[in-house]
Amino acid sequence: MTRSIDIDQVLDDWLAEGPRQLPDRVVDSITADIGHAAPTRRWRLPWRNHVYRNYFALAGAAVIVFVAAGLAVSLLANLPGIAGPSPKPAPTPTASPTGSASPSFVPTATPLSEEFRVTALLNGFLQARIAGEGAEAYLEGAEYSNHFPPLLYQTTSGARYDRAEFEPVSGIEWPYERDAYKVRLFAGDTVVEQLMFWGADYPLKLIYTDFGYGTEIAPTTENGQPVASTYKYLGGQVTLRAAHPWVMSNSDGNGFGRLTPEGPGVAPTTDGGQRTEWDELFIMGDPEHVPFDEGCLSGTTAVDATSLADSIRSDPSLETTAPAAVTVGGANGVMMNVRRFSGASLCASVNEDGSFTDHWPVLYPIFSQASERNEFNGHYSYQSTGEWMKLYLLDAPEGASLQVLAIAIAAPRTTFDRAVEAAAPVLDSIEFHLP
Amino acid sequence: MDQSFIDRARRGDQEAFTSLVLHFGDRLFSVAYRILRDTGRAEDAVQQAFLNAWRELRNLRDDDRLEAWLYRLLVNACYAEVRHTTRWQPGLRLITDLDSGPIADDAQLSVADRDELERAFRKLSAEHRSVLVLHHYLGYSGDEIADVLGLAPGTVRSRLYHGRQQMRAAIEADSRAITSRGMA
C-alpha cells in the first residue's frame, strides 16, 4: 500500500525546517579571510614541464588517459583551425577522422586530468567562436558582469574568425589558484588576443574578466591594440569607454576605475590582493561636501558645479588650485586640484548603519582605504591619503536626474601626471544620456 | 541594502563588505544547509561564496542583482563542496539539526517522513538539490532559477521534474519497504 503524496507541499514543509542563522564565528572567519587579501597559491609546473615522480603515478596517468581517450580524441583531434599545446606525459591524442566536437559541448565532471579538461574547454570554446555560435556556454558568470569577451565571433570590422590557437601564460602567479591562457583568433590579417582563465572553483567553465587581474597584459587586443569597453554609470545616464591599462568597475551607480601600474620596478603581478595603492578615477553623481572644520556635521549637496566648487574652496582644511572652466561630454563646469595633507581627517557624513547619507562625499577619492573609520561628533571621519585629486565638477544637462557630475582622478605625486594623461581619452569618451 | 555599502565594498572597504556579509549571511547559510544537509559544509560553502564575492564584486554589473549573484556563487560553492568532500555521509540526519529551526506541523511530517525525505534528498545530485531548494525554499520560479544559475529554462524545468519524481519515488519505495517489513 502506498500513500498519496503532494510532493510540492511535502518539500515546501520539509525544506522550511532547519537552521537559518550563520554563526558569528563564520562571519569572523570571512572577515579575517578578506583581511588577508593575498590569495593562497598552489605550486604548479608549466604544462610542458610536467614530470611524473614515479612509475605508480605514470601507471595511474596511463589509466586515466586510456579512460579519457574516447572523449579526448573527439575533443582534441580534428578541430579545424585550432592549435594548442599538448598535455604531457600522455600518449598525446592525435588527429583522427572521428568528426569534430559539437560547439555546444561542455564536458561533465570526470576524473580527467586538469590538462585534458582545460584543453577540451579551450578547444570547444574556440571552435564555437569560429563556428559563430555556442561560445557563451563555455563562460562562467557572463550574465552578471563583464565576464563576456568582446569580439566573441568577429573582429571590429565584422570579419569572422577562420582559425585559432592558445597557449598557457606562465611567469605570473595568478590569483585565486587560477591558470591563464592566451587565446589567439585569426581573421585574415587581423589577430585578436584574449586572456582566459580556468580555476578549480569553476572546473567546467572558462573565465574572462575585463580587467585580467590587473597585469600588464591587456585582456583583449586587436592587432596589438587594447580594445575598449563601454561602461554605464549613474543608471546609464553617463557612459564612457575605457581600455587597458584602466580597470573599471561595472557598477550601475557611482563608478570608479584603477590604473594598472607600469614602468620600471613594477612587478608583473596581479591585483589579487598584492596591491593596495592605485591611481584611481571616480565618477560620482551629486556628491556631498562635508567640511571638517565645521565639525563633520552633515554636509550639503550643491545644486550646481560652481557652488560645490565654492564650498570646497572655502574649506580651510583643504589645499585647492583656482578653478578653470572646462567642458566634458558637452557639459560645462570647472576643474581644480584638491588635497588634504596625509593622515589628516576627512569627513564622511554617515548614517547609523555606516552607510553614507545620500551621496558620496566629494572627497571620497582621497579617503585612505587603509585608515580606520573614526567617530567624530556623532559622524565618521577617515584619514586622507595625502594625494592630489584632479576634480571636475560638471553641470549635468537639463533633464538628467542628477545636478552635478563629479569626475575625480586621484594619485600620488609620483604618478599623478601619468594618471591624468591616461584619463584623458576616458574623459573624452564621456557622454550623457537623458533618462 | 544601501547602495553605498556595495560601492564601498567594491572599492575594497572591508567594513562595508562585512556589512554585506551580515545582511546576506543568514539567507545564504539557510540555502547552503538545505542543499548540503550538513552544517559544517554549509558554513564552508558560505565562506567560500563570500570570499569569491569579495574578489569579484568589482565586476558585478547590476547592483540590483547582488542577491541573485550571491546565490549563484553559493550554489557553485555547494557544488565544489560536494565534489571535494568524499567523507562518508550518514543516511540519517542528526536530530540536533531539527532543534535549531522551525519545524513544520507534525501532523503533516512525522519523524519517519523526515527520515524518508532526508534519505531521498541525499540521493539526488547537487544540481537537482539546488533547483529544488531555490524553488521550494526560496520560492523562485523556474525562469528565476534559470536566470540566477545561468541555465536554460528547460534544464531547470527538467531538473525540477526529475528531482520531484526521484523524491516521490524514493519516499514511496521507503513506504513500501516499511509496509512490507511491517506485514512480514
pLDDT for position A56: 32
Report pLDDT for A34: 80
Between residues A385 and A189, the one the model is more confident about = A189
**Does the beta-carbon distance from A19 to B56 stay under 8 Å?**
no
Task: Read off the C-alpha cell for B88.
Answer: 562518508
Confidence of residue A357 (pLDDT cuts 50, 70, 90): low
For residue A79, what pLDDT is reported?
53
- pTM confidence score: 0.71
Q: pLDDT of A231-273, one tens digit each? A: 999 989 999 999 998 988 877 788 888 888 776 656 555 554 4
The reply to whether residue B26 touches residue A202, judged by beta carbons under 8 angstroms, is no
- Does the structure show a pLDDT above 50 at A73? no
- Minimal C-alpha gap between A97 and chain B (Å): 32
What pLDDT, on a 0 to 100 scale, did the predictor assign at position A38?
39
Give tens-digit pLDDT for B75-93.
999 998 887 764 444 443 3
| Distant-in-sequence, close-in-space partners of A178: CB < 8 Å, separation ≥ 6 | A197, A198, A199, A207, A213
Least confident of A5-14, A266-275, A336-345: A266-275
Q: Return the bridge partners of A395, or none.
A: A404
Task: Give A240's strand partners.
Answer: A231
Sign (positive or negative) of CA dihedral A152, A157, A158, A160: negative
Q: A123 at the B interface (CB within 8 A)?
A: no
Shortest alpha-carbon distance between residue B119 and chain A (Å):
13
Using CB atoms, pick whichever of B62, B101, B150 lies closest to residue A18: B101
Query: In a mutagenesis test of the A interface, which of B1, B3, B4, B85 is the best target, namely the one with the most A β-carbons within 10 Å?
Result: B4
With cell 567562436, the residue in question is: A129
The CA–CA distances, whole Å, from A117 to A107, A108, A199, A206 equal 8, 9, 11, 11
How far is Cα A287 from Cα A51, in angstroms, rounded to an integer? 58
Residues A425-433 have a mean pLDDT of: 97
Contact A201 B52 (CB under 8 A): yes
Mutant choice from A178, A271, A283, A355 vs B, greatest count of B C-beta within 10 A: A355
Instruction: Yes or no: say if A302 and A284 are a contact pair by the CB < 8 Å rule.
Output: no
Q: A433: pLDDT confidence band, cut at 50, 70 and 90?
A: very high
Is residue B114 within 8 A of residue B97, CB to CB? The reply is no
pLDDT of residue A179 exceeding 80: yes
Across the interface, whether the CB atoms of A23 and B33 are under 8 A apart is answered no
| Residue A352: per-residue pLDDT | 67
Residues of chain A with Cβ-Cβ distance to B164 below 8 Å are 7-8, 11
User: Mean pLDDT across chain B, nearest whole number?
Assistant: 81
CB contact under 8 A, B109 and A13: yes
> Can you tell me the mean pLDDT for B20-39?
96
Q: What is the pLDDT of residue A290?
A: 85
Q: What is the ipTM of this complex?
A: 0.84
Kindly determine whether residue B22 and residue A27, on different chains, have CB atoms separated by under 8 Å.
yes
Kindly state whether B17 is in contact with chain A, defined as any CB-CB distance less than 8 angstroms: yes
A160 to each of A138, A164, A224, how far by Cα in Å? 19, 11, 18
CA distance B90 to chain A (A): 17
All residues of chain A having their beta carbon less than 8 Å from the beta carbon of residue B41 are none
**A169 compared with A175, residue with greater pLDDT:** A169
> Which residues in A lie closer than 8 A to residue B47 (C-beta atoms)?
26, 29-30, 33
Residue B49 has pLDDT above 90, yes or no: yes
* pLDDT tens profile A9-22: 989 999 999 999 99
CA distance A62 to A88: 11
DSSP designation for A8: H
* pLDDT score, position A268: 53
Those of residues 94-153 in B touching chain A at CB distance below 8 A are: 97-98, 100-105, 108-109, 113-114, 117, 132-133, 136-137, 147, 150
Pick from B68, B104, B172: CB nearest A14: B104
**What's the rounded mean pLDDT across residues A360-381?**
76
Q: What is the pLDDT of residue A91?
A: 32
B-chain residue closest to A7, CA distance = B168
What pLDDT score was predicted for residue B104?
A: 46
**Residue from A5, A10, A364 whose CB has the most chain B CBs within 10 Å, to mutate:** A10
The pLDDT value recorded for residue A258 is 87
Contact check, Cβ <8 Å, A16/B80: no
Using pLDDT thresholds of 50, 70 and 90, give the confidence band for residue B178: low
